[in-house]
Structure 1
Amino acid sequence: MEWKNIYRGFLMGISDLIPGVSGGTIAFILGIYDRLLLAISGFFSREWKKHIGFLLPLGIGIGLTLLLFSRVIDFLLKDYPQPTQFFFLGLIIGVVPYISRQAGVQKNFKIWHFILLLIVGAALASTAFIKPAETGIITSLTAQNTIGLFLAGWAGSMAMLLPGVSGSFVLLLLGVYATAINALSTLNIPIIIVIGAGVIVGFIVSSRAIHFLLERFTHAMFAIIIGLILGSVFVIYPGIPESGTPFVMSVIALITGLIVANMFNSASAPTK
């Protein structure tokens, strides 16, 4: 068992609780993105035993974080929204040089790769202007909302594996984020099971698809990934903080995020 994956799962779990922050980006920062895709797709094959030692501790870390920190993240986003968002901005900006080195941008990218990067980045950035769906918190299941919550979990998990695309933000756009956070903080087991089932199915499908595309169209996929990460900066950016304490806290949070990203990038072995 790779028990150090518990802390990696902890970091990915925290990121997945925050709209605009991608667990896939955190996996890139930690240097485990390629292996994560391979392990998820391989777990549902005859070679599943080979991947259980990697995935189980990671899953434990993510699961514990979702259960234990949903209220903490909710508190931080309500009472200290800008410093919290600026910290994750620092993480996201800090990972771009690392991914660029992995992709060999200067050596491997052609003009059309940069065009693709800009198109994808602009498309994701434009979602910052989309008004999230306004729906009430679902606390009990019906036939209709069960299907809706399952599909929302599916869509959210597919986004979680793409660096730059936030699963929580997808849930927010679909009007399910408040329901998911409420279910986690109140341990509403039926709601958690339905959304969780959608997440698992989404992981299976999307991990295989992304891994296939990374192998067949490596440089194009890196262009898309960098575009998604850059575009997510505009989604997360909370605006210029007020002068005084909020401004100072936000600057410190941004710098801390950059330092943390650099620490992980320096410690991570190349995955490409």
Structure 2
Amino acid sequence: MVLNFIRGFCMALADSVPGVSGGTIAFLLGFYDKFIGSLDALIAGNKQEKIDAIIFLLKLGVGWVIGFLSAVSVLANIFDTYIYQISSLFIGFILFAIPIVIKEEKESLIFNWKTILSFIGGVALVAFITYFNPVSGSESGVNLAQLDISLILYVFVAAMCAISAMVLPGISGSTLLLIFGLYVPIISAIKAVMGFDLSYIPILFVFGLGIITGVVTVVRLIKWALDKHRPIMIFLIIGMMIGSFYAIVMGPQTLATPKPPLSIDTFSIIWFVVGGAIIFGLQKMKTMTTKEEA
């Protein structure tokens, strides 16, 4: 129970900030296959498989909820003020995670035209969404308390994309929300509801529906793709991770009061190193948890 609580807590910290995904944390800690298999069993498994999946996911879920709420209560207050330090931390997360993903998946690194196109497609997809994001850089930001059909559809689709990314060992769902210009608004809305401001409940309900829809429709597809076309998927994931550097650099422009993109002058080497240290710390934790389960 304690081990899975820690795992869930670490996943939540990753899911709550743009950088590596909760799926990456599961990958780095060595329980990714069990995690994705449990999600799949919850949807399409037999009775016993569903029971086993529920027990495992509940144990993870307790740690995840506590970790996520803890992170949200802090992030909403510091994100605007320390955007450049946090962005530097995110870059450290991703840069140091990529070699680990490559090392763990070296058997899947098969170079051919399909995998190369997949890699290029991953980079291009993230860069394209970031560059053409209709919300990024808006003078007024995004007001989630004032709903219209276009905003509802936008948030719903973004939630589906975000939860899909969260279960992949690569780019995080929070990074995708950052790309869509919804990261700060969603975090702020969750914190507002935690403070009993109920005006944001409708849009968070839409966001929740998008997450549920994404889990039901995408998780099985992801599992099938990883089982049947793993090399292509791994190259796609690495490409999206590399593309997310551009999203993070441009991230300050998605704030309610846009700031200049991250630059050499605003980059924090200290927080970049901290991000790398956290990734290596997770690798050490994987070694410890593997011994504990043996």
TM-score by length of 1: 0.81
Q: Are the aligned partners of 2:7 and 2:63 in contact in 1 as well (CA < 8 Å)? A: yes
Q: Residues of 2 paired with 1:178 and 1:255: CA distance? A: 24
Which of 74, 77, 80 is equivalent to 1:78?
Answer: 80
Q: Residues of 2 paired with 1:260 and 1:73: CA distance? A: 18
* 1:226 is aligned to 2:238: yes
User: Which deviations, in whole Å up to 9, do the C-alpha atoms of 1:160-206 show, x marking residues without a partner?
Assistant: 22344342344455554454223311214444333223212211221
SS of 1:109's equivalent in the other structure is: coil
Q: Residues of 2 paired with 1:195 and 1:263: CA distance? A: 32
Identity of aligned residues (%): 30
- Count of aligned positions: 263
Q: Are the aligned partners of 2:133 and 2:180 in contact in 1 as well (CA < 8 Å)? A: no
* 1:34 is aligned to 2:33: yes
User: Which deviations, in whole Å up to 9, do the C-alpha atoms of 1:194-227 show, x marking residues without a partner?
Assistant: 3223212211221111111111112121111111
Q: Residues of 2 paired with 1:25 and 1:136: CA distance? A: 29
Q: Counterpart of 2:8?
A: 9
In the TM superposition, 1:29-178 aligns within 5 A as 29-44=28-43, 45-46=45-46, 47-104=49-106, 108-112=109-113, 113-133=115-135, 134=138, 136-139=142-145, 149-172=155-178, 174=180, 176-178=182-184
Q: Are the aligned partners of 2:6 and 2:63 in contact in 1 as well (CA < 8 Å)? A: yes
Unaligned 5+ segments in structure 2 are: 250-260
Q: Which amino acid aligns with 2:205?
A: I
SS of 2:80's equivalent in the other structure is: helix
Q: Residues of 1 paired with 2:84 and 2:149: CA distance? A: 38
Q: Counterpart of 1:251?
A: 269
1:195–1:264 distance in 2 versus 1, CA, 3 Å = same
Q: Which moved more, 1:140-149 or 1:51-60?
A: 140-149
Q: Residues of 2 paired with 1:98 and 1:175: CA distance? A: 29
Unaligned 5+ segments in structure 1 are: none
Q: Residues of 2 paired with 1:79 and 1:64: CA distance? A: 24
Q: Residues of 2 paired with 1:145 and 1:228: CA distance? A: 25
* 1:208 is aligned to 2:224: no
1:4–1:137 distance in 2 versus 1, CA, 3 Å = farther
SS of 1:49's equivalent in the other structure is: helix
RMSD over aligned CA atoms reads: 3.0
Q: Are the aligned partners of 1:13 and 1:66 in contact in 2 as well (CA < 8 Å)? A: yes
Q: Counterpart of 2:254?
A: none
* 1:199 is aligned to 2:211: yes
1:49–1:18 distance in 2 versus 1, CA, 3 Å = same
Q: Which amino acid aligns with 2:93?
A: L
Note the C-alpha offset of 1:96.
1.4
Note the C-alpha offset of 1:108.
4.5
Q: Residues of 1 paired with 2:160 and 2:118: CA distance? A: 26
SS of 1:4's equivalent in the other structure is: helix
Q: Counterpart of 2:279?
A: 261
Q: Residues of 2 paired with 1:104 and 1:182: CA distance? A: 40
